[in-house]
Structures are given as C-alpha cells and as structure tokens.
C-alpha cells in the first residue's frame, strides 16, 4: 500500500482497467489529473480533441469498435457540459463509456463559483449512474464501480465528477484487479426457455429481428447457428448491422422507416418474429399497433424494462443473448422451411433494388466504398440520408463495423467516432460518411486527426442541403424548404487543406474511385467532397407513424 494524490489514483485506476487511450480536453479544475497523466504518457495515450464533444464521440467510437470501455475527460463547467451530447448518444445506444470530469473544490460547491456546474445532476437521466467524489478515500472504489457499472448487464455511460481538492489530497492506494463482468443468467427462467422452444418448433415461417444487443453480447456466432438450425430469415435494425452477415442468403436487409420492402413486407407474412436485443424503436416498428400482426412475438433481451414497453409480446426471455441462444440452440430440433424461404426469395425477386450504380449518387458512392475496401472497413456515419445509404448499401459482414448514432440521431457524431475507432482498431481502414450539414457541425475534429496523423477518410456526400429534412419537406410539406438549403461558398477541400488534411473533390464516380484509392494509399487524414444532386432521396420509406406495409419508393409515387 502506498500514498498517492487523488490525481495519481485516477491514473492508477485507469491502468488497472486496462485503459490505453483517453480522449479529452484540459482546463483549470482538472489540471492536477492532466499533470499526473503527463507522467504516465508512455502507458496511457491522451488524444487532445478540438472540442469536448469530439472527445465524448471519440470515446464512444473506440468503445463500439473494440467492445471495451471508452474513456473521456473534461474540466468543469462548459468543459463538462460539452460532453453531454456524446454521453446521451452512448446512453441511447447502450455503449460502455466512462466520463471523468473535475469540479470546483468542496468549499466552493453550491456558490455559483467560476465554471461550477452540477454535472452529476445534469447527466442523471442519460447515464447508468453518475458520481460526485468529495472524499479522496472514496475515489479509487468509485472509479472501479464506474467501470463495472458501464460494462455490466445492458452497457452504458457512467460519469465520475471529482472536486479539485480531491485531485490534490492524499490517500492510501492499493492496486486491485478488475472484478470480472458476469453474464446475466440469473434472470433466465427455465419455463421461459421451454415456452420459446415450443413457439419456435410450432413455427412454419420464423423471422429473426436482430438489434444492437446481439453486438453488445458478442453473440453473432450463436445467432448465425440458431438461424441456420431453425431455417429462419433474418432482418436487422440499424444498431444490429453486422451481427448477422449482410452477405448471407437468408438476410433480408434492414427493417423500418428506410428498411427494405422484403423485410417490411416479410415481417407481416411471418408467423413468428424472434426479436433479439432490440427495443422496438418507433423507427423500426412504424405503427406499433400494426407491427407483425400475423405473427407471434418472442422477445429476447437483457433489460426486463424493454419487455412490453413499446410492443406487447407473446413471450419473452430476459438475460444475456449469447447464453439464451446457446440454451435454445442446444435443445431445439433442426428443421427446414423450404416453402418459407421460397416465399421470401419471391419477395426479393419482386422488389429488387432500383438504385443506379453508374450514376453519381449516395448509393453508388457507398457501393464503390464497399468494393474498394472489400467489405472490411470500419464505417462511421453521421445522421441523415448518407447514414441510411451506408446502412443499405455497405454489406456489413461482422459486428462493430458500422458505428452510428441510432437512438439519439446525433449530427456531428462521425468524425470523432472515426478517430476513436481508428485508435481502437488500427488494423482496419476507417471511413466516416457524412452529409455536408453534419460535417459542418464537428469538422474541426479533422484538425485532431491531422495533429496525430490518424489516417481516417472523411467522405462528404455533399448535396448542399440538409438532405433528410429536405426529403420530408418534399414529400410532406409541399416543398416548403424552410432553412434546409446550404448552397453557400464553403469549400470543404480548402477546409481540409487548412486543417492539415488532404482534400479531394469528386463530381463523378471515376473521380471518386481515384480519390478513394489515393486516400487508402496515403495513410493520412483525407477529406473527399462528393457533389451529388440535391433531390436524391432515400428509398424505400415508411412515413412516420405509418404501418410497415405502406412502405413506398419513387416508382410507387410515379405509378399513383
């Protein structure tokens, strides 16, 4: 046992947890921690982002890419509040993250002191837990608890706020190995497994709906084995991408507002829908009262609070998806469903994708990225049309390949997340796909990539409008384009050069292919500005609140 300052205890606890990279921005109240970090820079690499929001998104991207806990740091007041959007993003998508902030000294709390804010209170609704540490003797155990909470059960973010005097005070420190993270199995009831097996064995037309919980549980292998054993077809949510291979014959594509017609129509032809690690988001179900009305619903999820929250189900199993799928697969009888598979194959033939891959458009750009990376890249996105095109046209083979803000829908997420992902998975090409509206929000993080020479590739799908909002204005607001036109003189190639990256502009598919090939070979930060038409749309589409069977595309509108 030895005596250390609170700041030294913070660093030692991070080392205990195996943290190798931290994203953050220093300031007055957290200076002691940064001073201690300076002395351990050979053990923990700190990435100075351009903005604290970038730090929280980078920590999130690191966590999504690796499955480990992402860590970010910020000072008090605006430093801490600038983390909030990133913390909320992680919370909505169940991403393990620990945010460490510092606050004014205990004697100054509650006095509206300079840069004082009750950040633990601010983030209470968007964290699994938030702590404020006012006693140095409680610091080590609080940090250890934070890491355990972030990873246990349904993962999520935890905030630890430390007063400045605690970072300077001294306490005894004794190293401890991290407590093992146990899989949640106590909630798995034998009778629920029995019911699930009976429902599956009675089904002639099973469909599996895969959510992000399968990624979090590291259950993709078990899922594939399970799907093959019961001969089910498989669709996924945005968060479930890659949990089941997008190249598999039984895969029908994403479901929901911009899901495929095969998935949206197919789920209404199934007699059993097995939902694994998904929460029945409104963007997935459409009109919840009309969701999969011909089917029985079996819900497998780690969080009991999600059962019957948005959609009433016929049966459920609560617990770790990996363990539940193993239990069911071990006992279930293998079966073949040729008629059901033929029915889905007929839907695939009836509703092929109509995107022209020779036209310079969002789908063609994504398809070209897929070809040039052979499906092996880490793809981060911002939020909007480009996000949906990425989900639709990049065939994700593995989990943790698509990193995107699903629940919160955070514009400006992508660049920071891409930097974090590249630190977590340096072996993979890392590409952020953004619209011009999103890129404007946090393009300052290109400077971060340049400072550390992080070889990310930023693809801007630039239509000079807020594309997704404009799409809604076109379809539902009689083309009243209120504040969605971005046709100004901003030059992203010059911005890239000014921020220390290499910029390219592409106005056709060949120019884009040439730029992408150079970007991959350069192995440095690159921005590719892709100029496409402002009226390109994401198809298919389900109007907000409508039933999935009302899914339509441009051909349907033209045939009216």
Tokens found for residue 287:
């009109």
Exposed, middle or buried by CB within 10 Å (0-12, 13-18, 19+), for 186?
exposed
H or E stretch including 224? Answer: helix 220-230
DSSP letter for 30, please: G
Distance CA(226)–CA(449), nearest Å, equals 41
Exposed, middle or buried by CB within 10 Å (0-12, 13-18, 19+), for 152?
middle
DSSP per residue over 167-214, as a string?
HHSEEEE---PPPP-----TT--HHHHHHHHHHHHH-SSEEEEE-HHH
Which ranges in 29-110 belong to alpha helices (H)?
A: 31-38, 52-66, 78-81, 84-92
User: Peptide bond preceding 13: is omega within 30 degrees of 0, i.e. cis?
Assistant: no
Catalytic positions, please?
Answer: 52, 114-115, 164, 468
Distance CA(415)–CA(449), nearest Å, equals 9
Compute the C-alpha angle 74/171/87, nearest 5°. 25
Instruction: Check the CA dihedral 518-519-525-526 and report its sign.
Output: positive
CB atoms within 10 A of CB 182: 10
DSSP per residue over 225-255, as a string?
HHHHHHT-EEEE-STTBTTB-TTSTTEEEE-
Tokens found for residue 167:
């970072």
Collapsing DSSP to helix, strand or coil, 559 comes out as: coil
């Amino acid at each position: 046992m030895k005596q250390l300052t609170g700041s030294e205890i913070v660093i030692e606890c991070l080392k205990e947890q195996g943290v190798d990279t931290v994203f953050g921005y220093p300031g007055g109240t957290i200076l002691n921690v940064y001073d201690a970090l300076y002395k351990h820079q050979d053990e923990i690499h700190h990435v100075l982002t351009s903005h604290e929001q970038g730090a929280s998104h980078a920590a999130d991207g690191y966590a999504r890419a690796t499955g480990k806990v992402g860590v970010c740091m910020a000072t008090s007041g605006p430093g801490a509040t600038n983390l909030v959007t990133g913390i909320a993003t992680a919370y909505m998508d169940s991403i393990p993250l620990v945010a460490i902030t510092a606050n004014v000294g205990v004697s100054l709390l509650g006095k509206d002191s300079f840069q004082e804010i009750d950040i633990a209170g601010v983030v209470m609704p968007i964290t699994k837990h938030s702590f404020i540490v006012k006693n140095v003797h409680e610091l080590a155990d609080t940090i250890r608890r934070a890491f355990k909470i972030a990873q246990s059960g349904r993962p999520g973010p935890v905030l630890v706020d430390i007063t400045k005097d605690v970072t300077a005070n001294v306490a005894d420190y004794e190293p401890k190995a991290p407590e093992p993270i146990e899989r949640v199995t106590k909630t798995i009831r034998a009778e629920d497994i029995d019911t699930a097996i009976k429902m599956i064995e009675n089904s002639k037309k099973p469909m599996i709906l895969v959510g992000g919980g399968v990624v979090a549980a590291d259950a993709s292998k078990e899922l594939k084995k399970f799907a093959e054993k019961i001969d089910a077809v498989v669709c996924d949510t945005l968060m479930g991408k890659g949990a089941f291979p997008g190249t598999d014959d039984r895969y029908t594509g994403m479901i929901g507002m911009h899901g495929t017609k095969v998935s949206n129509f197919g789920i209404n032809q199934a007699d059993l829908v097995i939902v694994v690690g998904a929460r029945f988001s409104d963007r997935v179900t459409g009109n919840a009262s009309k969701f999969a009305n011909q089917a029985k619903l079996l819900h497998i999820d780690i969080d009991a609070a999600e059962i019957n929250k948005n959609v009433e189900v016929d049966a459920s199993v609560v617990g770790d998806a990996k363990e539940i799928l193993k239990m069911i697969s071990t006992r279930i009888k293998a079966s073949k469903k040729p008629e059901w598979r033929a029915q889905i194959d007929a839907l695939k033939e009836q509703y092929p994708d109509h995107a022209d891959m020779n036209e310079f458009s969002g789908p063609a750009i994504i398809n070209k990225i897929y070809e040039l990376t052979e499906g092996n890249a880490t793809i981060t996105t911002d939020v909007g049309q480009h996000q949906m095109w990425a989900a639709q046209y990049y065939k994700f083979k593995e989990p943790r390949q698509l990193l995107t803000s699903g629940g919160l829908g955070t514009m400006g997420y992508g660049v920071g997340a891409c930097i974090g992902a590249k630190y977590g998975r340096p072996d993979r090409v890392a590409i952020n796909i953004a619209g011009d509206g999103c890129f404007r929000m946090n393009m300052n993080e290109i400077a971060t990539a340049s400072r550390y020479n992080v070889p990310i590739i930023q693809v801007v799908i630039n239509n000079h409008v807020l594309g997704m909002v404009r799409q809604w204005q076109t379809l539902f607001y009689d083309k009243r384009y209120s504040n969605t036109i971005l046709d100004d003189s901003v030059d992203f190639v010059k911005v890239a050069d000014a921020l220390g990256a290499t910029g390219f502009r592409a106005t056709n598919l060949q120019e884009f292919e040439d730029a992408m090939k150079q970007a991959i070979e350069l192995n440095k930060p690159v921005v590719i500005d892709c100029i496409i038409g402002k009226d390109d749309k994401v198809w298919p589409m389900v109007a907000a609140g409508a039933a999935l069977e009302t899914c339509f595309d441009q051909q349907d509108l033209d045939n009216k």
